[in-house]
């Protein structure tokens, strides 16, 4: 039976913050909708989900006829080391194993994953186990927060097809392909308002563009009218001042026709002119207020810039029968520089060397190419990027070994975005100083990516994952390079910023190697997609 969740006059502000995240927000949603939640990073999507879960105090009212359940479930270290079958009822009260088995089957996963330590599962397996537990119950409205981050293309496709069959959830995602496939309504956090619309992401985006274009044209018309009003007000004011000046004193030669009673006439005329000026000013204020209202929610995406360098050769990277892995640690648990070659590991088998993640890989990168590496999680994509960086002297991983040919251009300058953001600590000033970046320009790029100024004073440990990614993207954009290597740059990045980055890459055409699972992004920016096959 369909029911409604009603939000009335919701207002919320984090302690110590000057600005409200939500202010007098009211809307209603049906509990059988497949609702996509869209908005810029930092606009309050996850915050709103936490308000539904009653994690924070707020003013206003949230009236819900059912309980809420949230993905991803927070796990303790003890749970991560245990099998899911042992703790799944702790995550979802009344969870019955047979229901979870049914959901796992729909997610194309064997029941045996429930009996393996959770920490040993891949990202895709963990996500699917949690989704199976989430959907194994009834009478709950489900809050699903970015389920496809860190998932490869195959796992994303499985999750997408699974969610297509479900209803009664809010899906927070920046993956346009997922949103188009899985939702029938959108809940959008605009710049100043919240809107609900029937349809998927593409239909909402088309309507938004149409509405934004209309608002911009109306705004241009209002600007012209405001200019004309300003001119009329200025002219009337000048007339009034000029006439007011003729009331006192007169020039007998110039004002030879000055008659008795003229002063009163001039005073009345001046008063009338001044009244007209006041009317112009009031109308001017109304027009300006209306103009500002027109552009309240227009997303004016700013063009970004990048400064790629031109390399003196056509081929930047060449790999032939290249195998990459991680060698076993020595007795001290460390590897000195060149220790692998000294120990003769390059000629040994996999069992002697340790863990080989990529075998006999052939690859060539030419200037101007934007190559997307595609493959399942764990197939060696990130390890190949780290091997390239190590050959360029920009990565210190002593246990990483390479067999076969991996040649990179001499003097190649590389700008790298790591998929991991845990190392970001301290404030923006210290980050810029460490990397030799111009702080004012760096902050300007972050503002173009719609990062609020108040964030610049905070330690980066307190940033959301999306904001941390924007720090790394901004740093890469500021670094002139022959080659840009981006490893999952778009995790947690909002849709609008993704579109900005797409436009940037298509305009400036830098040479790139990208590991990314956003299907639409890859289709738009890639000149070539290379499949990285497992060993």
**344 and 397 within one domain:** yes
Q: What is the pLDDT of residue 14?
A: 83
Structural domain span for residue 131:
4-207
**228 and 91 within one domain:** no
pLDDT-derived band at 346, boundaries 50, 70, 90: very low
- 310 found inside a domain: no
Exposure string for 331-359, b = 16+ CB within 10 A, e = fewer: eeeebeeeebeeeebeeeeeeebbebbbb
**Distance, CA of 149 to CA of 127 (rounded, Å):** 9
For the chain, state the CA radius of gyration. 31
Q: Which of 458, 439, 425, 483 is nearest to 306 (CA)?
A: 483
Q: What is the pLDDT of residue 84?
A: 95
Residue 363 has pLDDT above 80, yes or no: yes
**171 and 54 within one domain:** yes
- 309 found inside a domain: no
Q: What mean pLDDT do residues 446-474 have?
A: 90
Q: What is the pLDDT of residue 153?
A: 86
- 421 found inside a domain: yes
**235 and 179 within one domain:** no
Helix (H) or strand (E) holding 232: helix 201-245
Tell me the pLDDT tens digit for each residue of 206-257.
Answer: 998 888 888 778 777 777 776 776 776 676 666 666 665 555 545 555 555 5
Helix (H, G, I), strand (E, B) or coil at 22: strand
Q: What is the pLDDT of residue 378?
A: 83
- 305 found inside a domain: no
In this structure, of 1-5, 55-59, 110-114, the range with the lowest mean pLDDT score is: 1-5
Domain closes at, from 166, 189, 207: 207
The residues facing 361 across adjacent strands are 322
**443 and 354 within one domain:** yes
**444 and 474 within one domain:** yes
**160 and 214 within one domain:** no
Domain closes at, from 180, 207, 234: 207
Tell me the pLDDT tens digit for each residue of 81-102.
Answer: 999 999 999 999 888 999 999 9
**441 and 406 within one domain:** yes
Q: What is the CATH number of the domain that holds 384?
A: 3.40.50.300
- 304 found inside a domain: no
**480 and 349 within one domain:** yes
pLDDT-derived band at 284, boundaries 50, 70, 90: low
- 186 found inside a domain: yes
- 134 found inside a domain: yes
Exposure string for 239-253, b = 16+ CB within 10 A, e = fewer: bbeebbebeeeeeee
Tell me the pLDDT tens digit for each residue of 122-170.
Answer: 888 999 999 999 999 888 999 999 999 888 888 899 999 999 999 999 9
In this structure, of 4-18, 117-131, 369-383, the range with the lowest mean pLDDT score is: 4-18
Domain closes at, from 207, 231, 252: 207
Parallel, antiparallel or unpaired: strands 354-366 and 414-417:
unpaired
Q: What mean pLDDT do residues 171-185 have?
A: 94
3-state secondary structure 415-479: EEECCCCCCCCCCHHHHHHHHCCCHHHHHHHHHHCCCCHHHHHCCHHHCCHHHHHHHHHHHHHCC
Tell me the pLDDT tens digit for each residue of 291-306.
Answer: 555 555 566 666 789 9
Residue pair 241/299 in contact (Cβ under 8 Å)? The answer is: no
**516 and 428 within one domain:** yes
**Distance, CA of 145 to CA of 130 (rounded, Å):** 12
What whole-number percentage of the chain has pLDDT above 70? 81
**195 and 220 within one domain:** no
Tell me the pLDDT tens digit for each residue of 327-338.
Answer: 876 545 554 444
Q: What is the pLDDT of residue 264?
A: 61
- 33 found inside a domain: yes
Tell me the pLDDT tens digit for each residue of 17-61.
Answer: 777 888 899 999 999 999 999 988 878 888 999 999 999 999 999
Q: How many domains does the chain have?
A: 3
**269 and 160 within one domain:** no
């Amino acid at each position: 039976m369909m029911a409604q969740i009603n939000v009335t006059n919701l207002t919320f502000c984090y302690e110590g913050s000057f600005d409200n995240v939500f202010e007098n927000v009211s809307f209603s949603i049906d509990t059988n909708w497949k609702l996509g939640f869209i908005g810029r990073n930092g606009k309050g999507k996850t915050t709103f989900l936490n308000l539904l879960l009653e994690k924070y105090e707020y003013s206003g009212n949230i009236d819900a006829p059912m309980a809420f359940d949230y993905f991803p479930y927070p796990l303790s270290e003890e749970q991560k080391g245990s099998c899911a079958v042992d703790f799944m009822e702790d995550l979802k009260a009344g969870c019955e194993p047979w229901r979870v088995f049914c959901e796992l089957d729909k997610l194309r996963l064997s029941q045996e994953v429930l009996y393996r330590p959770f920490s040993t599962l891949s990202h895709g397996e963990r996500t699917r186990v949690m989704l199976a537990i989430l959907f194994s119950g009834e009478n709950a409205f489900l809050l699903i927060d970015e389920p496809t981050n860190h998932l490869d293309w195959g796992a994303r496709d499985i999750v997408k097809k699974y969610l297509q069959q479900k209803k009664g959830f809010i899906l927070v995602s920046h993956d346009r392909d997922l949103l188009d496939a899985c939702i029938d309504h959108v809940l959008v956090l605009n710049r100043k308002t919240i809107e609900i619309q029937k349809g998927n992401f593409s239909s909402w985006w088309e309507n938004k563009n149409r509405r934004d274009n209309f608002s911009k044209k109306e705004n241009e018309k209002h600007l012209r009218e405001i200019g004309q009003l300003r001119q009329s007000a200025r002219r009337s004011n000048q007339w009034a001042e000029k006439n007011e000046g003729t009331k006192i004193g007169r020039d007998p030669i110039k004002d030879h026709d000055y008659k008795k009673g003229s002063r009163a006439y001039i005073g009345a005329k001046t008063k009338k002119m001044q009244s007209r000026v006041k009317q112009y000013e009031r109308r001017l204020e109304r027009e300006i207020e209306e103009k500002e209202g027109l552009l309240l929610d227009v997303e004016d995406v700013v063009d970004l810039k990048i400064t790629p360098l031109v390399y003196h050769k056509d081929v930047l990277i060449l790999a032939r029968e290249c195998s990459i892995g991680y060698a076993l640690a020595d007795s001290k648990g460390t590897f000195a520089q060149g220790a692998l070659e000294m120990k003769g590991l390059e000629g040994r088998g996999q069992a002697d060397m340790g863990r080989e993640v990529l075998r006999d890989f052939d690859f060539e990168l030419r200037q101007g190419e934007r190559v997307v590496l595609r493959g399942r999680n764990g197939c060696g994509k990130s390890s190949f990027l780290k091997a390239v960086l190590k050959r360029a002297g920009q990565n210190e991983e002593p246990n990483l070994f390479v067999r076969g040919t991996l040649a990179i251009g001499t003097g190649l300058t590389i700008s790298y975005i790591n998929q991991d953001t845990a190392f970001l600590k301290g404030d923006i000033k210290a980050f810029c100083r460490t990397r030799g970046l111009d702080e004012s320009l760096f902050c300007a790029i972050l503002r173009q990516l719609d990062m609020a100024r108040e964030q610049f004073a905070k330690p980066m440990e307190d940033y959301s994952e999306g904001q941390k990614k924007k720090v790394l993207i901004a740093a890469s954009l500021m670094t002139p390079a022959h080659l840009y290597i981006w490893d999952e740059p778009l995790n947690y990045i909002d849709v609008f910023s993704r579109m900005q980055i797409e436009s940037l890459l298509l305009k400036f055409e830098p040479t790139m190697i990208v590991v990314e699972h956003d299907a639409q992004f890859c289709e738009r920016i890639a000149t070539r997609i290379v499949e990285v096959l497992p060993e």
